Structure 1
Amino acid sequence: MTAHPTGTREEWLAARLALLVEEKALTRRSDELARKRQALPWVKIDKDYRFDTEQGVATLADLFGGRSQLLVYHFMFGPDYRAGCPSCSNIADGFEGFVAHLAQHDVSLLAVSRAPLARLLEYRQRMGWTFPWASSHGTAFNYDFNVSFTEAQQRSGELEYNFRQEGRAVGQSPAPAAVVETAACCGTDVPTFSRDRPGMSSFVRDGDAIYHCYSTYARGLDVLWGLFQWLDRAPLGRNELGNWWRRHDEYDD
């Protein structure tokens, strides 16, 4: 363990109270951002998206499950993956328990991925999850919400993720070791793995109309990744080199 300052209880309390002032300011700022997030203009959905679900073919309206609000986690599980992304799996471990609570607050939460439904459900069973999972296989849904990309987009580097143009074609430089490792544990190569990205999007129903309200990607998902919220409060913080986490059934102990 690295050397760390020590002190008396009185010194700790003084430092903690000073930090509390900053934490309260951050909380108020977070509340303000939440209000601004909810004030974003809604964009009407004009496409007739179709999904494969356990109940059969479903429309986007069907995914609401009779509620007025819908939260979609864009889970990285492409058609050629043999298993879901371990990072997305870690996030899903966290939100698995929220589904029932959100349903009591007029909000449906589910995951959507491009892999065929049977493969998604098989993986869900392996992970011990119960949240609804829909397949957008063969549809434009993932592409329209900038979480999936074509091979042509990859080759040209003309793809948009996290509200900016990537500007670099896959293969122009070696992929980071963590990406190579993660692609391999999903049973695929880096270009195939990278055609899907993580994100979340929210939608609302107003009568028969459906509107897209919000999307976030990349580090914008940090606050939804419960593991790191706990680690940020642990004595050594994230304290990480590379992707140390695994699917919950893959740890040695």
Structure 2
Amino acid sequence: MDAMPEIADRETFQAQLDELRVREKAHTRAGDAIAAARRRLPMVEVDATTPLVGTDGQVTLLDAFEGRRQLIAYYMMWHTGHPAAEQCEGCTYFNGKVRELSYLHAAGITYATFCQGPYEESVRYRDFMGWDMPWYSAEDSVETLLVGRRVGMFHLVCYLRDGDRVFETYWTTGRGVEALDNTYPLMDMTVYGRQEEWEESPEGWPHDGSIDGGFHRVNGRPASQWPRLEAGHSDDLGTRS
């Protein structure tokens, strides 16, 4: 049986929660200050004609803005020629969280996936997963778009358009892409947290999040693939012999 917190009366519980709330508010304000600094970063120009492949064939980076002023692109990892079950559970987890785009659009922001694999194969994955965000293959341009960074790693990149010119304003990777997520923040509010081994937790807390891919991969597949299969959706990416 997993360990549990000590039991206290309501007054003791609330007093310690009030102490924690002070730290939570300081954390929120620190995040606001970092966001303010992010808005003051310089930007670097990117070739607006950099080619991508989308629904209508070859397009440009400028086209991916869909006429809006800003663009957020998630660079999804891809294992070319591999079946759906072997695609990246982390990218499936994070990219799959972005579903309601109308609020971004109302703010003049387009969200799109720039997959690092071929279009026809990878767009089948998007359709299998039931995602509806704009989808492009950046396979032939990823070295240019991610210059100086580790190609093949997931990245989140922000762009600004000024007429026909495009500028990169921010990028992040690793835990930075948690901005896309709502599951981890909810887990962080629970007593057992993410159940990862790296977390500073009391002795005896469960670490199921660090076992065999944790919650990202279940029974040999990214966890969110199972409901799609159970609903009868095909995971054929055209890679089967």
In 2, the alpha carbon distance for the partners of 1:28 and 1:135 equals 38
Structure 1 residue 136 displacement after superposition: 1.1
Residue matched to 2:225: 249
Residue matched to 1:63: 64
Structure 1 gaps of 5+ residues are 149-195
Structure 1 residue 40 displacement after superposition: 0.6
In 2, the alpha carbon distance for the partners of 1:17 and 1:37 equals 30
Structure 1 residue 225 displacement after superposition: 2.5
8 Å contact from structure 1 (residues 198, 218) kept in 2: yes
Equivalent residues in 2 for 1:113-128 (5 A)?
113-128=115-130
Residue matched to 2:237: none
TM-score normalised to the size of structure 1?
A: 0.75
Structure 2 gaps of 5+ residues are 196-208, 231-241
> Could you say what secondary structure the match of 1:124 adopts?
helix
Aligned to 1:92, which of 88, 92, 95? 95
Equivalent residues in 2 for 1:193-232 (5 A)?
196-232=152-188
Residue matched to 2:80: 79
Q: Percent identity between the aligned chains?
A: 26
AA partner of residue 222 (structure 1): E
Equivalent residues in 2 for 1:1-253 (5 A)?
1-46=2-47, 48-83=49-84, 84-97=87-100, 99-139=101-141, 140-141=143-144, 143-144=146-147, 146-148=149-151, 196-239=152-195, 240-242=209-211, 243-244=213-214, 245-246=216-217, 247=222, 248-250=224-226
Structure 1 residue 35 displacement after superposition: 0.8
The 1:197–1:205 alpha-carbon spacing in structure 2 relative to 1, beyond 3 Å, is same
8 Å contact from structure 2 (residues 52, 60) kept in 1: yes
In 1, the alpha carbon distance for the partners of 2:126 and 2:148 equals 23
- Alignment length, in residue pairs? 205
> Could you say what secondary structure the match of 1:67 adopts?
coil
Residue matched to 2:206: none
Structure 1 residue 226 displacement after superposition: 2.0
Structure 1 residue 59 displacement after superposition: 0.7
> Could you say what secondary structure the match of 1:24 adopts?
helix
AA partner of residue 31 (structure 1): D
AA partner of residue 92 (structure 2): S
In 2, the alpha carbon distance for the partners of 1:55 and 1:147 equals 29
In 1, the alpha carbon distance for the partners of 2:194 and 2:79 equals 28
Structure 1 residue 80 displacement after superposition: 4.1
CA RMSD of aligned residues (A): 2.0
In 2, the alpha carbon distance for the partners of 1:81 and 1:147 equals 21
